[in-house]
Structure 1
Amino acid sequence: MNSRKIFYLIVSFFLFLLVQVLILKNMVIFGVVFCFLYVLYLLLLPLEFKVITMLLISFIIGISVDLFYDTMGIHTASLLVIGFIRNQWIKIITPTGGYDEDLQPTFLNMGFGWFLTYSIPLFLIHHFLFFSIEMLGTDLFIPVIQKTVFSATFVFIISIIVQLLFYRRRRGV
């Protein structure tokens, strides 16, 4: 990976973090829909990232968000799980021919169907873990499922909008 790509990843990390903690922190719709867009940063990292690198980045993002939300590690725990299973999930949904080198898995590069298959399960897992840890009770199963489904759907829609506005499609040869 070249230095320009690394600089781009660092700048986008800080942008995602700033947007999350300054704008989206207080964005709650009907007490059920939460916008955790910082998960998208992890999903949009290039496909060739190793698990250890993913876990390190997941930890840094999670602990940074936890510092601003005062949630004592809930964001970190749920994001570490996503960082751990992301590469395995990519291997499961990889087509026979594989992917191009240095490809960023955006909606514009991969198509809507692939991005839906890739991101929705990871968003659902993240949100389910987050809300389960937050509520820590079995009597609150229905609210956890409600918040998980509605928040994951909302984050997916917002992630498509963000990608359409701020990401470019990779040009072919």
Structure 2
Amino acid sequence: MNSRKVFLLAGSFLLYFLVQVLMLKNMVIFGVAFCFLYVLYVLLLPVEMKTIPLMLIAFILGLIVDFFYDTMGMHTLCLVAIAFFRNFWLDILTPTGGYDENLQPSMLNMGLGWFVTYSIPLILVHHILFFYVDSLGTNLFFPVVQKIIASTIFVFVMSIVVQLLFYRRRRGI
């Protein structure tokens, strides 16, 4: 990885963190839809990134978000889990010709249908883990399911908006 790519990854890491902590921390729609947009950072890392570095990046981002949310490792757990499953999921979704080198798995590069198939299961895993751990010890099954579904849809829609506004087509990081 050249220094330009590392600089862009570090800059986007910082940007996603700042947006999450400063702008989206208290954004909740109808008391059930939470916006954890920082998940998109891990989803949009280059396809060829190996699992261990991906998990380390997810660990650092999750730990920093946990520090500002006072959630004692919940964001770290969920983000590391999706970082662990991401490459396996990418292997399942590999197109016939394979992936291009330095490809960012975004909607603009791969198409909306592929991005829906790629991102929604991973966002759903993140939200299931997060809200399940958050509600341990309570009998609040339906409110938790409602939060999972509403938050998954909200994060997915926000990820589409962010990609349309701030990302370019067919460019590696």
TM-score normalised per structure 1:
0.96
The match for 1:163 is 163
Aligned counterparts of 2:16 and 2:35: Cα–Cα separation in 1: 12
SS of residue matched to 2:137: coil
The residue number in structure 2 matching 1:72 is 72
* TM-score of the superposed pair, with normalisation by structure 2: 0.96
Runs of 4+ displaced beyond 6 Å? none
For residues 133 and 139 of structure 1, the distance between their equivalents in structure 2, rounded to whole angstroms, comes to 13
Work out which structure has the larger RCO, using CA pairs closer than 8 Å and 6 or more positions apart in sequence.
2
Shift in Å at residue 141 of structure 1?
1.7
Q: What amino acid is the match of 1:81?
A: A
Q: CA deviation at 1:138?
A: 5.9
Q: Give CA-to-partner distance per residue, 1:61-114, whole Å, 9 cap, x none.
A: 100000000000000011111010000000011122111000001110010000
How far, CA to CA, are the matches of 2:141 and 2:46 in structure 1?
35
Taking the aligned partners of 1:111 and 1:104, their CA distance within structure 2 comes to 12
Secondary structure of residue in 1 paired with 2:25: helix
Partner of 2:86: 86
Q: CA RMSD in A?
A: 0.9
Aligned to 2:12: 12
Equivalent-residue separation in structure 2 for 1:88 and 1:97 (angstroms) = 17
| Aligned partner letter, 1:129 | L
Between Structure 1 and Structure 2, how many residues are aligned? Answer: 171
Aligned positions of 1:1-173 closer than 5 A: 1-137=1-137, 139-170=139-170
Task: Give the whole-Å Cα distance in 2 for the aligned partners of 1:116 and 1:110.
Answer: 10
The secondary structure found in structure 1 opposite 2:84 is: helix
- Letter in structure 1 aligned against 2:71: T
Query: Once the two structures are aligned, what percentage of the paired residues are identical?
Result: 68
